[in-house]
Structures are given as C-alpha cells and as structure tokens.
Amino acid sequence: MSGEAAQRVALIADAVTGLSAVPKTLPCKWLYDAAGADLFEAITRLPEYYPTRTEVGILTDQADAIAAAIGPGAAVVEFGPGDGAKAELLLAALPAPAAYVPVDIAPEWLEAAASRIAAARPGLPVLPVVADFAQPFALPARLGAAPRLGFFPGSTIGNFEPGEATLFLRRARETLGRGARMLLGADLVKDAAVLEAAYDDAAGVTAGFNLNLLRRLNREAGADFDLGGFRHRAVWNAAAERVEMHLVAQRAQTVRLAGREFRFAEGETIHTENSHKYRPERLRGLAEAAGWRAATMWTDERAWFSVWLLEG
Ligand code: AVJ
C-alpha cells in the first residue's frame, strides 16, 4: 500500500472510532493536510496568536544565554520540524553545531525543513529521519559521539494529554541517549480571554483551520459533511488547564462516512483539539517524572511562553 493509501485507511479508522464515541472526537493530527498546514502557517501570523512570535522572541532575545548553556558541537534533533524556521534560528545561535536531524512521519514536510537548513547552513550535515516521533526511533549512525540536543518547540507538547506528554519525554530521552539534552517550548497558563482569542481569531482563520478537517473527511474519507452545518468553538477548560477546539452542529443532522451513518443532535460537538497550557512548576514535574532535570527556563517579559533546557 502507498503511504497515501495507508494514511487514508488510518484516517477513516480514526474517524469511525471518533464519531462513534461519546462525546464525539477526532485526533488533532488530521488537521494538517496541505491546506491545514497553510492555514496553521497563517494562524502563526495572526495578531491574536501570540505563541509563535513570543517563542521566536525568546529564542532571539536569549540566544546568547541558550547558546552558552548548550555549548559547542551539538547535533540538533528536531521533533516535527514544520518549515524549519525555528531550527534555522537555533542553529545560527549555537557555536559550531555538528548536524541537523529533522524527524517527521510526513516526508514532504521533512523535505521543506531539510532544504531550508541545507540552504541556510551550507556544510552542515542535514540527516532527515522519517519516523513517528511519538515512538522510539533510531538516530543516524553518522552522528557519532556528537552531544545530542533534542528540539521540540511550538508548544506541540500541549497537544498531548499530560500523561502522554510524560511518556513522550521519556521516549525522547531514550532515543537521544545518555547525557543528551532537550530544548522544549511550552505555552503557559494565562488570562482566559487572551487564550480564547488566540484560538478564535476575529478574521476566522482558526475557524477555517478547524472546519478544514470536515472538508478533508469529505475528500479523503468519502464523507458528506455539510460545512455550513457546523461552527468552530474554542473554550478554555479551567479545570484541565487547556484550550479545547470543537466543531458544533448547528442543527440536528446525519452524516455518512464509510458506509455508516452518524447522527448529531443540535449543539452536539466534535472535539478536535486540546492545547494544554502549563504552569512552570507543573511542567517541571512532568519533565522530572520522565527522568529529565529541568535545568533552566527562559521566558518573555509577560511570562506567556517558556523555553526549557532539560538535562538527562
Ligand atoms: C501547533 C499544536 C502548537 O495548539 O497552539 C493553533 C495548533 N490549533 N491554533 C496550538 C493550533 C489552533 C497549535 N500547535
């Protein structure tokens, strides 16, 4: 089976499971088809969406301190590199990095990050790895004895449930090996209005990003969602300290997918994403439960976002 066909089978299986569940849910990883990746890119430039520019601000303003803490010769292993823009920033700050290893399940995204870094840093070995970075994977043998630095920016860790986040950090530690370190970006708990605006912008870009999941199911899973029958909702769940994205049925309706019928009551939702926000002490606890030592935390002047150096 081709990679694309295998993806489609997995998408349909996840959709059947998620739409049969109570409450209905769909895994957030399916938000990122080509259109979804472009929409996310547009989100990062919205005035309300502070995480990307705040993290880039920390990586820029604290570049000297971060570089001094990490030291020379690091092999940078990035989990889910996106377009490689943050890696370019980090690699420019570090003294004599040894290699760049972007890791992603989707070869087409890897290609984008790899070619960006190859162009920006001629001579630096770029060694892409196709793997699901949530599972253990093997690093390229060519890295030799270079000290390993895991890089997981963007607060993607917030998409995991806290227990899964600990598991991810433990596996990353095993993959990177003894003496490795990890530079981790995590969004912090803040005012609910700021958080909800960041996930429900005035221009409706995030709404389009969320609804694109239904468009994808229509195209790739043969579903017949009426996109006008659902609305985007983003809510801060204070008890769980996470922003939730939902798609809310505007009226009672039935949707067909993979030969089955899924009924929606008016107001019923599909839960499409969790974006967990952390308090520094909680993030520290999570890293330590995974076997890391949280050595340093850098933040911005409003303390909206955090960049951590974890040591093994
Ligand atoms: C890419 C997972 C970090 O949770 O902030 C942005 C995804 N969802 N707007 C986030 C997202 C809605 C984003 N991450």
Residues 23, 158, single domain; the answer is no
Contacts of residue 269, defined as CB under 8 A and 6 or more positions apart, other chains included, come to 23, 24, 233, 246, 247, 248, 249
CA of 276 to the centre of ligand 1 (A): 10
Residue 43 included in any domain: no
82-139 pLDDT, tens digit per residue, is: 999 999 999 999 999 999 999 998 887 899 999 999 999 999 999 999 999 999 999 9
Q: In this predicted model, what pLDDT tens digit does every residue of 161-171 receive, in sequence order? A: 999 999 999 99
Q: Is 210 in the pocket of ligand 1 (CB under 6 A)?
A: no
CATH number at residue 154: 3.40.50.150
40 domain residue, yes or no? no
Q: Distance between CA atoms of 1 and 225, rounded to whole angstroms?
A: 27
What is the band of 6 on the pLDDT scale with cuts at 50, 70, 90?
A: confident
Q: Determine, yes or no, domain membership for 48.
A: no
182 with 200, same domain: the answer is no
Q: Answer yes or no: is the C-beta of 275 below 6 A from any ligand 1 atom.
A: yes
Pocket residue to mutate for ligand 1, from 159, 211, 307, most atoms within 8 A of Cβ: 159
- Please give the Cα distance from 271 to 103 (Å, whole number): 27
Dihedral, CA of residue 187, residue 192, residue 193 and residue 195, to nearest 10: 20
Does the residue 113 lie in any domain? yes
Prediction pTM value: 0.96
Domain count, the chain: 2
**Do 184 and 240 have their domain in common?**
no
Q: Are 134 and 171 in contact (CB under 8 A)?
A: yes
Same structural domain, 101 and 80? yes
Average pLDDT, the chain: 96
Alpha carbons within 13 A on the beta-carbon side of 205: 20
54 part of a folded domain: no
Report CA(123)–ligand 1 centroid distance (Å): 33
Q: How confident is the model at residue 1 (pLDDT cuts 50, 70, 90)?
A: low
- Residue 266 and residue 123 in one domain: no
Same domain, 83 and 164: yes
Assess whether the C-beta atom of 272 lies below 6 angstroms from ligand 1. Answer: no
54 Cβ below 6 A of ligand 1? no
200 in contact with ligand 1, CB cutoff 6 A: no
Which ipTM was obtained for this model? 0.99
Q: Are residues 92 and 238 in the same domain?
A: no
* Whether 156 and 288 share a structural domain: yes
Q: Which atom of ligand 1 is nearest the CA belonging to 40?
A: 6
Cα(138)–Cα(141) distance, rounded to whole angstroms?
A: 8
Residue 20: CB atoms within 10 A of its CB come to 11
Based on the fold, state whether residues 295 and 176 are members of the same structural domain: yes
Q: Is residue 22 part of a domain?
A: yes
With cut-offs at 50, 70 and 90, classify the pLDDT of residue 155. very high
212 and 166 belong to one structural domain = no
Ligand 1 pocket test, pick from 52, 168, 275 with the greatest ligand atom count within 8 Å of Cβ, gives 275
User: Is 158 close to ligand 1, i.e. is its CB under 6 Å away?
Assistant: yes
Please tell me the distance between residue 155's alpha carbon and the centre of ligand 1 in angstroms. Answer: 8
Q: How far apart are CA 110 and CA 282, in angstroms?
A: 32
Residue 124 placed within a domain: yes
Which residue's alpha carbon is at the smallest distance from atom 13 of ligand 1?
156
219, 221, 222, 223 alpha-carbon torsion, rounded to 10°: -100
Same domain for 173 and 234, yes or no, is no
Q: Which domain holds residue 17?
A: 3-31+193-276
63-90 pLDDT tens trace? 999 999 999 999 999 999 999 999 999 9
Q: Are residues 225 and 262 in the same domain?
A: yes
pLDDT tens-digit series, residues 242-258: 999 999 999 999 999 99
The answer on pLDDT for 3 being more than 80 is no
Q: Is the CB of 80 under 6 A from ligand 1?
A: no
